[in-house]
Amino acid sequence: MDNELKKHITKTGTTTVGIVCSDGIVLAGDRKVTLGSGDNIVYVATKEEDKVIPVTDKIIVSTAGNFSDLQKIVKLIKSELRLKKLRSKQEPTIKEAANLFANVVYQSIRQMSVIVSITHFLLAGYDDEGFYLYEIGADGTLSKVENYQSTGSGMVQADPILDSEYKKGITTDEGINLVKKCINASRQRDLGSGKGIDVFVINKEGIRKVLSQTVVAEYRNR
Rounded distance between C-alpha atoms, residue 55 and residue 39, angstroms:
32
Q: Which helix (H) or strand (E) holds 168?
A: none
> Is 14 in the active site?
yes
Rounded distance between C-alpha atoms, residue 190 and residue 186, angstroms:
5
> How large is the angle between the packed helices 67-88 and 94-109, nearest 10 degrees?
140
Rounded distance between C-alpha atoms, residue 107 and residue 198, angstroms:
30
Rounded distance between C-alpha atoms, residue 104 and residue 45, angstroms:
26
Identify the active-site residue in 12, 14, 151, 172: 14
Rounded distance between C-alpha atoms, residue 98 and residue 103, angstroms:
9
From 170, 206, 218, 127, select the one nearest 17 (Cα to Cα). 170
Query: In this structure, how many other beta carbons lie within 10 angstroms of the beta carbon of residue 164?
Result: 7
Q: Which residues participate in catalysis according to the annotation?
A: 14
